[in-house]
Amino acid sequence: MATFLFDKIIFGPVKSRRLGVSLGVNLLPVNTKVCSFDCIYCECGLTPNNYEGEVKLPSRVEVREKLEETIIKMVSSGQLPDVITFAGNGEPTLHPEFSEIIDDTVELRNMLVPNLRIAVLSNATMLHKKSVFNALTKIEYNIQKLDSAFTETIHLINCPAPNFNLQKIIDQLTLFNGKVIIQTMFLRESFKEKNLDNTTEAEISAWIKLLEKIKPAHVMIYTIARDTPISSLISISISELKTIALKLEQAGFSVKVSE
C-alpha cells in the first residue's frame, strides 16, 4: 500500500484525528525515515536497514527560522492551528538538539501565539535521556506510544531496536507523575506466522494494569485509517474501540476515541 514521507521541516496545517488542526514539525530527514521503531502500520513506511547517501537532520536554527516564519504568516492571515505537533518521518526525540528545539518552540509560542499548544508524538524509547524527559514536561501534549503490555506483541507491531526494554519504558513513563498521554493503536493481522491481535481480553486487561501504574492524564485509542506498509493489517471497528474505551472509563481513565 502507498505510504509517504513529509518533504518539509514544517508541514500542514493538517486535520489531526486526535489534536484538531495541527501544524507539523519534522525533525527527521525529508527524504527518508529515521526511527527506533519499525511499526508495521506506520504511514511513513518501513524503517530502512541501511541508508544510501547522506542522512541530514534539520538544524536547530533551521527549525526555529522555518517555524517562526510560518507562524507569523498564519497570524497575519488569521488562520491559526490548534497545536504545533512534533511528528514527521520517524521518532522526533532522536534529534540531538530536541530539548533545545522544544525550548525555542515554547519561546516562539509564548511570544507570538500564547494560546497555541505544543504536542510531541513519541514512541517513548528516548525517555532515558534526561534532556528529552525534561523537555517533554514543558509541553501541553506529551503523547507516548504504548501498543501492548506484552513484549512479544510489541515486537510484532512496533519492531523496536534490539535494546528495547518494556519494563524500563514503563518505569520512565511512571516518572511523569501523570503528565503524559498514552496513545494506543489497535489492529489485527496474521503476521510472521503468529496471530497478531492486541484487542484480546488478555491484551486489554494487561494493558489497563500498566496504565494504572503510569496514571496518564489521558488515553487516546485509535485504529488504522491510512495506508500502511503491510497490506494485510486489519482495522478494528469503531464499536470495538468504544467497548475498549468503556473499560478504560470504568477503570477511571479519561479517554478519547479517534474515529
Residue spans per domain, the chain = 10-257
Question: pTM higher than 0.85, yes or no?
Answer: yes
At a CB cut-off of 8 Å and minimum separation 6, what does 153 contact? 147, 196, 198, 203
Q: What CATH topology corresponds to 10-257?
A: TIM Barrel (3.20.20)
> What is the rounded CA–CA span in Å between residue 227 and residue 213?
33
Joined grid coordinates for residue 144:
507516548
Burial label for 8, CB within 10 Å (0-12, 13-18, 19+), is middle
In the predicted model, residues of the chain with pLDDT beneath 50 are 1
> What is the rounded CA–CA span in Å between residue 136 and residue 230?
31
Assess contact for 40 and 232: CB atoms under 8 A.
Answer: no
Output the pLDDT for position 34. Answer: 92
pLDDT tens profile 84-137: 999 999 999 999 999 999 999 999 999 999 999 999 999 999 999 999 999 999
DSSP letter for 90, please: B
> What is the rounded CA–CA span in Å between residue 148 and residue 209?
11
Closest residue by Cα to residue 144 from 37, 250, 47: 37
The residue to which cell 544510501 is assigned = 52
- Opening angle at CA 69, ends 68 and 74, nearest 5: 95
Output the pLDDT for position 258. Answer: 87
Assess contact for 174 and 155: CB atoms under 8 A.
Answer: no
Q: Strand pairing of 181-191 and 194-197?
A: antiparallel
Q: Is 34 helix (H, G, I), strand (E, B) or coil?
A: strand
Output the pLDDT for position 124. Answer: 98
Assess contact for 233 and 41: CB atoms under 8 A.
Answer: yes
